[in-house]
Chains A and B, each alone.
Chain A
Amino acid sequence: MPRLLARSRRQKSTGRETEMELAAAQLLRFGRGALQLRRNFLTCLSSWKTPPRFLKSSQSEALYNVSDNGVTFAPLQTFTEEEMMIKNMVKKFAEKQVAPFVAAMDENSQMDKSIIEGLFQQGLMGIATETKYGGTGASFFSSILAIEELAKVDASVSIMCDIQNTLINKLIGRFGTEEQKATYLTKLTKDTIGSFCLSEAQAGSDAFALKTKAEKKGDYYIINGSKMWISNAEYAGVFLVMANADLNMGYRGITCFLIDRDTEGFQIGKKENKLGLRASSTNTLMFDNVKVPETNILGRLGSGYKYAIEMLNEGRIGIAAQMLGLAQGCFDYTIPYLKERIQFGERIFSFQGIQHQVAQAATQLEAARLLTYNAARLSQTGKSFIKEASMAKYFASEVAGLTTSKCIEWMGGVGYTKDFPVEKYFRDAKIGVIYEGSSNIQLNTIAKLLGQEY
């Protein structure tokens, strides 16, 4: 008896809790039969008296942000005026300058030069970079909005913007020396595309098993090896290459090198013939005794793995935004069709079967949106956001796959043809669950963090 009451005092008491405790205590007080029952319970089952919900996760309390001003209670779709203007501008840009080229770019597997130039001119390749390097100095959330709006029209253009902003610019901005920043960030905001080179033929999810070597020779490093699945490689001018400077140290030898395109020994291999995201080039890279000066090491020797992990956390929110925009764009295209198409004398949107499916897809889309926006806002507060970012990427990419698949179904025969854009959205969506951390890896991450909380 004293034990039960002591427990209720120890826990944070809400009215309901103590009531339950007292009720349980009272039950057991009645007769020794009850007491005997208690003793025969297995210890794991004794938790029915104190249901798990009272044993709180160490994480979920920390996030609740009590404040007096109403601002913290604003819905997630609240943007600052700046963010709203950026979103509108990117939307217009996407609809006017990108949309006319989408079909041709997909067919030829080639990004149109005018779009790349347009992205730079509009300032979309340096959204969160400081103004002194030619960037815009806007917030990370603005980049997320830009990526989302671009993806509504073409996911390949969106990924180009995403990689530049969330991976390349961030890496150099955060870990680069003043000199490296002055050299590279100014180029990256003006006319140079960057490429992030981590994966290899034998190192995908198991990224740290990479075999590209970097041997020290005086104040140079000689890089040998090859990379695979490298986005943007066809158009990039600077490459952030993860190579291992000391294979004996395992992943602790991985270092990030800044390599320019025309370095001797560095070759860009053939472009992959992909199912989706075809306008974005994905190539193999070959390094044959490539000489890289020591000053081109980004950050510290052997810390490359740490930088990769940190950057990929934020990169995940970018991918979530891309998948979100893709799904939304596909959805926005399909619904007006459903309201026009007449079968059995009625618009197919009036059939409850369709309505239910549409409502389910819209709900999932909204959930993905809120996960993404919340993860983005969280990352700006400096609080831990890894779990939320993983959840956002995992959920958004899965939802994109489901939504685009359903959109093809709803459009019927025309959805299946290349004359309509929905099949492109469907093909583009598939990569979402694969790159920048496959779904299984995301689930691993989420589970690991949950394990640490409880």
Chain B
Amino acid sequence: MAELRALVGVKRVIDYAVKIRVKPDKTGVVTDGVKHSMNPFCEIAVEEAVRLKEKKLVKEVIAVSCGPKQCQETLRTALAMGADRGIHVEVPESEAERLGPLQVSRVLTALAQKEKAGLVLLGKQAIDDDCNQTGQMTAAMLDWPQGTFASKLTLEGDKVTVEREIDGGLETIRLKLPAVVTADLRLNEPRYATLPNIMGTN
């Protein structure tokens, strides 16, 4: 389907290897000066989108990130991995704390309609809040079918077959495009950007 556009959501979170510390006033977690990186599940989603593009099943991969201006680093990483465009929805630092799945899914809904995306790929959850809501909410708002916890994704014509990891084991469903898919751990092994790609995202 050379016409298909994939919208991939990426979130900037505290790096998984960092030791989390609670703020002294107990209102949250220390984020200042702490190493941040792309949510691992979002990396898997980007990797899947880029692989689909390499198989020529997707025409364009658009990466989206909502948050303060540091999100641009995350977008650059997505671009270095192979995404074609990056959209940064800027949210001022002061309001970034109140940004949750509901708000983000509204943004993604609007963007999916504006960019005429046929496939929205997200990570199943973010490692900082573990909400596991954005994908499902976005699908509901768009009124599109959803395939969550995907461990295998196959695009065939205007349908997508998703193998889901559920509590009881594996479930295979077939969705009609446009659809929302959220990536689980075993979907793929994300690539690291090669040096030339990193330089190219200048």
Contact = CB atoms under 8 A, between A and B. Distances in A.
Bound pair: A and B? yes
A134 to B, nearest CB: 9
A450 interface: no
A88 B199 contact: no
B76 A81 contact: yes
Contacts of B77: 85, 88
A123 B195 contact: yes
Contact of B73 (A84, A86, A93, A122): A84
A127 B37 contact: no
Contacts of A123: 194-196
A122 B76 contact: no
Contact of A92 (B192, B195, B198): B192
Nearest to A123: B195
B64 interface: no
B194 A137 contact: no
Contact of B37 (A88, A93, A122): A88
Given A81-B73, A84-B73, A85-B80, A138 B192 contact: no
A124 interface: yes
A210 B196 CA distance: 39
Contact of B193 (A89, A124, A127, A138): A89
B195 A138 contact: yes
A89 B195 contact: yes
A336 to B, nearest CB: 9
Contact of A121 (B194, B199, B201, B202): B194
B192 A93 contact: yes
Contacts of A124: 195
Nearest to B17: A95
B198 A82 contact: yes
B192 A86 contact: no
A86 B195 contact: yes
The DSSP consensus for interface residues of chain B is helix
Interface string A114-125: 000000011110
A445 interface: no
Contacts of B76: 81, 85
Contacts of B192: 89, 92-93, 96, 122
A158 to B, nearest CB: 16
Interface in A81-137: 81-82, 84-86, 88-89, 92-93, 96, 121-124, 127, 131, 136-137
B198 A89 contact: yes
A138 B199 contact: yes
B196 A86 contact: no
Interface centre among B192, B195, B199, by most chain A C-beta atoms within 10 angstroms, is: B195
Nearest to B190: A92
A82 B202 contact: yes
Given A84-B73, A85-B80, A136 B193 contact: no
A6 B189 CA distance: 75
Nearest to B80: A85
Contacts of A137: 199
B198 A86 contact: yes
Interface in B109-142: none
Contacts of A85: 73, 76-77, 80, 193, 198, 201
A297 B199 CA distance: 33
Nearest to B19: A336
A84 B2 CA distance: 35
A371 B202 CA distance: 29
Interface string A165-203: 000000000000000000000000000000000000000
Contacts of B202: 82
List the 8 closest A-B pairs by CB distance, nearest first.
A123-B195, A136-B195, A85-B198, A92-B192, A89-B192, A123-B194, A123-B196, A122-B194
Interface of A: 81-82, 84-86, 88-89, 92-93, 96, 121-124, 127, 131, 136-138
Given A89-B193, A92-B192, A136-B195, 9 more contacts: A85-B73, A85-B80, A85-B198, A86-B198, A96-B192, A124-B195, A127-B195, A136-B196, A138-B195
19 contacts: A81-B73, A81-B76, A82-B199, A82-B202, A85-B73, A88-B77, A89-B195, A89-B198, A92-B192, A93-B192, A122-B192, A122-B194, A123-B194, A124-B195, A131-B199, A136-B196, A136-B199, A138-B195, A138-B199
